[in-house]
Every structure is written in C-alpha cells, then in structure tokens.
Amino acid sequence: PDADLRAVTGLDHLYLRLPWSTLEPHRGEIRWELVDDLVRRWSPHGVGIGLGVTLKETNGDAAVPDWVGAKGRWVESGWSRDFEPEWDDPKMLVAYESLQRRLATRYAGKPWLRYVDLRSYGDWGEGHTSFGSKTVASAAVLERHARLLRRAWPTTLLYAVDDIVTQGVPASESTRFADTLRKLGMSFRDDSLLVRWYVDGHPTTGSVRSVDLFESVWRLRPTLLETQHYSMSADRTKDDTWRGRDGSERGGATLERAVDVSHATWVGYHGWAGDWMRDNPGLHARLLNRMGYHLRPASMRRDGKSIRIEWRNEGVAPPYRRYPLRLRVGGREVVVSSDSRRWMPGSVTETYPCPFAGPISVRLGAKRPVELALREELRESDGWYRLPDR
C-alpha cells in the first residue's frame, strides 16, 4: 500500500523488474504506463525508480515475447516450467537492444531515474541459471549483453548483479569479465543478502559473496544491496535468517555487516513495507545513518583570514556528486572551492579563505541542501547550519 511505502523513512526509490514480454507484449507496443504511472505517483514525493528488463523468469511463462522468435528451450525450475533463451541468439539481442534504446530515448536523464540494471542474463536476470539449465555462458557472450546496454544508455548509471561474474561465466573468465564491466562504467549489486546458503557460506562478510567486486568500485560509483524475501527470512521452515525485533536474535547484525563490507549506498528488500517498518524500526534508523554518506563538520578553527573545517564522513561511502559548499560569515556568503566526492569514510580537513569576521554558518548543496549530522537546533530555516566557533 502507498501509505505503508510513504511511512518508510529515507525511501529513495522503488525498483521495477519487468519481464520483456510484460513490457512489450507485441512488437513496438511498449506498455509505458507500467513505468509512467509509478513516476506520476512517486516523483512528486522525491521518490525515484530503478529499472531492469529480464529475459528469464520462473513464473511458467516466457519473459522473451513470442513475436521475437527467440531460440531456446523450456526448462524445469523446481516449481514451474520456464522458457530459457539461447543467450547468444543474435535476433533476440538486436530486438532487445532496440527496446533498451527506446526506453533510453524516453527516460534517460530524467531526475527520477536512479539507474538501469543489466538484467538480460539468467533467472530473474540475476546472472545465474541455478533454477534453469544450470549452465554458464562465455564472457564473450555476456560482454555483448553489457555493451548493448551501455550503447543504449551511454550516460546512465548501470548495475550488474555480482552473480553474473561469479556464476554467469567460467571461473577462468571471471576476472577479465569483471574488468570489462568496470571499464563500461558499471557498478555492482548483490541480490542475495540473507539467503540461507550465503549466510552459512559467508558468515564473516554479512552473506556478501563478492566483496572484491564491491571493493573495486565503491570509491567511484554507488553500490547496492537487496535482501532475500523478508517473509522467507523470517520463516523458520524456510531460510530462517531473521529473528527478533530489529533482527536482534538473527539477521540484523548480518545486514549491518553487509552494508559495511559492500560500502552500500542503497539497500532494498523484498516484502511488505509495513511489516518491515513495524518489525525493525531501530535497525532501519541505524542503517540510514550508516549506508551511503553521513557528513558532519566535526571541528572548526579560524586561522587569520582562513577557516579550517574537519569534515567527518561517518557513513560507508563518499558523496558521488560534487556539492557546492557555501559559508556565511557575519552575514556575507562565500562560495568556496571544495570537492565533496573526496570525502571518503573517515575525516578530511579543508582550509577555506575567508577575510570576514562574525558568526559562521555552512550550507552544502545547491537546489536541495544536503542535511548534515548536527543537532537540530543548529539547523536554520533556510537550510544553513550554524557552526560553533571553536
């Protein structure tokens, strides 16, 4: 329900994973309303959309539209019989790239579009065929998938699921393939947080299997985590990886560890928003103050005609945009030279020329100010923060 979603503190975007056959059931007839209706409902609230289009699902249907005439076979998933295409079918890939180009023509550059996923390979587009043929593709084939997506969306943030590197290609090709994805400007996401198999197999990394992939990109591009279905995690007859309020008995610490090792900016989950917020209010607040960046001016000192500020980033990632920094000293505004993208987790001290005397306030960001981790009484009504002169 929309009311439950609106109650999710810090909600940044909704993720939309669409089978191609649902989005374009007939050649050239794209159901734009599947995206546009959500945009109309949520963008006025500052909530964006992430988008991925799949070629294989496990719902008993074909995710590739019949009109494409794709080569492939029907395979058993364990609960349904599903169409798995030949991943290198040139006819299918040409038509799929045409779809992505039309999507990009309509949506690329929109302020609500957060990213587009590389979802063209594997079950649910997760980069593996564990619930299908259980085969792998060659890196050459999957590079074609990645390159066609980048051609269609040349300036948009793109994600690849980590399993496409670890399970999608032979182990001997994974390193080269991961390097290709990075060179194409892609970041990585993990869709398997709190899945029992990963919890048991990777206990020290919060069930994150591919820490090295996240380590290779987080300084340049935001990384993303998505959890197991919440109902399955909390079900003792299924995964049983979540127990207690805020996951206090099991799960909460695992998720927090995953945020730390992946340097995640975004964390998503499967499940009802109302259930999540009711069961995990404390953990939710802690995650919001840990994921992404969390900035505060830790100390300030005047030194002649300059001001020295120690900025502390208490999050796990830097800002990925260069936010303009302004000082207001004695009622006069000063725009100073600073690059917030360099503010990695930890501390950085910068010195700004300022010949004026008087009380000091700071503002980060232009159209919308970046909120700083300072006491509420220090925030002024116009988005500025007063700094203690010490």
What pLDDT is stored for residue 380 in this prediction?
86
Give per-residue pLDDT as tens, 10-67.
999 999 999 999 999 999 999 999 999 999 999 999 999 999 999 999 999 999 999 9
Report the distance separating Cα 366 and Cα 34, nearest Å: 32
Instruction: Assess whether pLDDT exceeds 70 at residue 98.
Output: yes
Instruction: Assess whether pLDDT exceeds 80 at residue 147.
Output: yes
pLDDT bucket at 357, cuts 50 / 70 / 90 = confident
What pLDDT is stored for residue 389 in this prediction?
65
Judged by DSSP in three states, 348 sits in: strand
Contact assessment for residue 196 and residue 241, using Cβ atoms and an 8 Å cutoff: yes
What pLDDT is stored for residue 320 in this prediction?
96
Give per-residue pLDDT as tens, 288-319.
999 999 999 999 888 888 899 999 999 999 99
Q: What are phi and psi of 160, to 5 degrees?
A: -120, 135
Query: Which residue carries 């503190």 as its tokens?
Result: 9
Report the distance separating Cα 222 and Cα 189, nearest Å: 9
What pLDDT is stored for residue 48 in this prediction?
97
pLDDT bucket at 321, cuts 50 / 70 / 90 = very high
Element (H, E) at 116: strand 113-118
What the block records as the tokens of 168 is 């999608």
Report the distance separating Cα 181 and Cα 188, nearest Å: 9
Give per-residue pLDDT as tens, 240-282.
999 999 999 999 999 999 999 999 999 998 889 999 999 999 9
Q: Which of 296, 315, 127, 323 is nearest to 222 (CA)?
A: 315
Report the distance separating Cα 246 and Cα 288, nearest Å: 14
What pLDDT is stored for residue 359 in this prediction?
87
Contact assessment for residue 227 and residue 270, using Cβ atoms and an 8 Å cutoff: yes
Instruction: Assess whether pLDDT exceeds 60 at residue 201.
Output: yes
Instruction: Assess whether pLDDT exceeds 60 at residue 390.
Output: no
pLDDT bucket at 347, cuts 50 / 70 / 90 = very high
What the block records as the tokens of 217 is 């990109």
Counting runs of H as helices and runs of E as strands, what totals does the chain give?
A: 13, 16
Give percent above pLDDT 70 in the chain.
Answer: 99
pLDDT bucket at 356, cuts 50 / 70 / 90 = confident
Q: Is the dihedral of CA 100, 102, 106, 109 positive or negative?
A: positive
Burial (CB count within 10 angstroms: exposed 0-12, middle 13-18, buried 19+), residue 298: middle
Query: Which residue carries 């609960």 as its tokens?
Result: 79
